């Protein structure tokens, strides 16, 4: 399946509103590039049939759609009795505890009880993306009492934030995460997202646990607090991708800083040739309405104009009334604004080339930007690891880039990279001149056309004789 020329990728969260086969199929046709499974709500085995159903749809459509497992990690969640929402009126108290043993007030259970060591009277507890606030009024043997600062509706498994608290005692990964990594290895997930990534050590820990399971998925580090921002350079270096998770980030830092921090992270990721996703509340009103607000449309547009690789839908597709329309709307906004997004030129960055593949990619970009050269219609990158493709992607070129790989896992992981149209081809099925055969296959799939000028790039470890470390201009 080859869906249009939109370059910005769309990540859609799968939930009750979207996990039927029919809706999943419609989401793919609407333009979804990656299915995200938020693993924070249920035990690992509950996700198995949902992921299997998504994979069946992907296979049926012949689509190239990635699978993202989003782990809980240090993310703090509240559990309610019988999973029912709790209504707390302004001024009433709620008990936050390690269990439900308290009976003199309504209570919730906290996923990481170690937080009670950090809380003091007067501290704020924020729930559900900061919409509801409580003030700690008393510490107990197994938690705290806190007073509602307004009418609150506390729902099961909603996130909890403690602004200005450094919760270093919460581990990067929990036993629950280990169970879900087991499932990820079995289901061959393409991406693993680490919530509240605080430093490179969190990424290293995740890689160690993944290695134990022979899981080589790309790691997406979610930046959600000041500690993550403080260590952003080392986190980018250690990760395969970054998610700007603005929901929790906008609670953990002053809200007026979000746009500037978002812009800086996108720039840093592009300079490092790392994928970057902009996430949270992008089309939030479409949870209830069939059209977004003007501000939301502008937010998606600005993310594209900043140069993000991907934009993400959360509640809009997981629980909203219009999951497919939300994807269609996001795709339409992204497609229009890409034309006005600035292209990064090789002279715009002082980053040194990392090896031959990086140098080849830079040279190719310089050739495309040199308007005195012959017009180039498309780029074909032969890639084994995906690195050359990600370098090309970071420049945000206007022309399509086709990443050809015989590694099916890499073809899935490049689904998140801006402007890259990945395709898996089994080179061994061809005899004789494999390059000619691959070109013919791309023509049959309507990815290239007769008469087009195509720039062909191949890195140093590619498995076709005589084209390694090369750039060639080829007329179809």
Q: Catalytic positions, please?
A: 36, 77, 222, 280
- Cβ contact 193:223 at 8 Å: no
Backbone phi and psi for residue 63, each to the nearest 5 degrees, phi listed first = -90, 160
Q: Which residue has the tokens 């909603």?
A: 158
Which positions ≥6 away from 208 have C-beta within 8 Å?
none
Say whether 413 sits in a helix, a strand or coil. Answer: helix
Alpha carbon dihedral 141, 147, 153, 157, in 10-degree steps, equals -30
Residue 317 C-alpha from the chain's centroid: 15
Q: Where in 280-434 does DSSP place strands (E)?
A: 310-313, 378-382, 401-405, 420-424
Helix axes 200-212, 175-187, angle to 10 degrees: 60
- Cβ contact 157:167 at 8 Å: no
Instruction: Tally Cβ neighbours within 10 Å of residue 230.
Output: 12
Question: CA-CA distance, 450 to 448, in Å (whole number)?
Answer: 7
State the DSSP string of 172-191: SS-HHHHHHHHHHHHHT-SE
Question: CA-CA distance, 222 to 200, in Å (whole number)?
Answer: 12
Which positions ≥6 away from 370 have C-beta within 8 Å?
none
Greatest alpha-carbon pair distance for the chain in Å reads 79
State the DSSP string of 265-276: HHHHHHHTT-EE
Instruction: Tally Cβ neighbours within 10 Å of residue 217.
Output: 26
Helices within 338-384 (DSSP H only) = 355-369
Q: Which residue has the tokens 């809009």?
A: 316
DSSP-assigned letter for residue 150 = S
Say whether 101 sits in a helix, a strand or coil. Answer: coil
What residues are paired with 138 via a beta bridge?
A: 145
């Amino acid at each position: 399946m080859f869906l249009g020329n939109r370059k910005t990728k769309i990540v859609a969260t799968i939930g009750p509103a979207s996990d039927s086969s029919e809706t999943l199929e419609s989401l793919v046709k609407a333009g979804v590039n990656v299915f995200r499974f938020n693993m924070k709500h249920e035990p690992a085995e509950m996700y198995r049939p949902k992921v299997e159903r998504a994979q069946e749809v992907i296979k049926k459509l012949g689509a190239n759609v990635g699978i993202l497992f989003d782990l809980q990690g240090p993310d703090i969640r509240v559990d309610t009795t019988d999973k029912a929402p709790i209504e707390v009126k302004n001024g009433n108290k709620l008990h936050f505890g390690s269990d439900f043993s308290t009976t003199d007030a309504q209570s919730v259970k906290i996923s990481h009880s170690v937080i009670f060591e950090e809380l003091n009277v007067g501290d704020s507890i924020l729930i559900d993306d900061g919409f509801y606030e409580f003030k700690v009024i008393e510490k107990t043997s197994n938690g705290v009492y806190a007073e509602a600062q307004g009418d609150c509706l506390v729902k099961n498994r909603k996130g909890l934030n403690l602004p200005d608290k450094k919760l270093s005692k919460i581990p990067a990964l929990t036993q629950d995460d280990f169970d879900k990594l087991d499932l990820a290895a079995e289901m061959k997930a393409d991406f693993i997202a680490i919530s509240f990534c605080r430093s490179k050590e969190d990424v290293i820990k995740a890689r160690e646990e993944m290695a134990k399971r022979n899981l080589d998925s790309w790691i997406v580090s979610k930046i959600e607090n000041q500690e993550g921002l403080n260590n952003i350079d080392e986190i980018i270096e250690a990760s395969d991708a970054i998610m700007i998770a603005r929901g929790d980030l906008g609670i953990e830092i002053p809200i007026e800083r979000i746009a500037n921090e978002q812009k800086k992270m996108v720039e840093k990721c592009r300079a490092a040739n790392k994928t970057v996703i902009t996430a949270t509340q992008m089309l939030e009103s479409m949870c209830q309405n069939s059209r977004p607000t003007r501000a939301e449309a502008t937010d998606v547009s600005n993310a594209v104009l900043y140069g993000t690789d991907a934009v993400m839908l959360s509640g809009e597709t997981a629980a909203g009334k219009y999951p497919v329309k939300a994807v269609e709307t996001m795709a339409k906004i992204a497609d229009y604004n890409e034309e006005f997004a600035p292209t990064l030129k090789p002279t715009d960055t002082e980053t040194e080339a990392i090896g031959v593949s990086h140098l080849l990619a830079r040279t190719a970009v310089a050739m495309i930007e040199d308007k005195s050269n012959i017009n180039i219609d498309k780029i074909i990158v032969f890639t084994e690891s995906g690195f050359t493709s990600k370098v090309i992607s970071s420049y945000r070129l206007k022309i399509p880039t086709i990443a050809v790989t015989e590694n099916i896992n890499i073809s899935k992981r490049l689904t998140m990279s801006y402007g890259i149209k990945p395709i898996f081809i089994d080179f061994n099925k061809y005899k004789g001149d494999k390059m000619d055969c691959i070109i013919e296959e791309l023509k049959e799939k309507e990815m290239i056309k007769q008469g087009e000028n195509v720039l062909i790039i191949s890195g140093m470890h590619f498995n076709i004789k005589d084209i390694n470390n090369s750039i060639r201009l080829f007329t179809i």
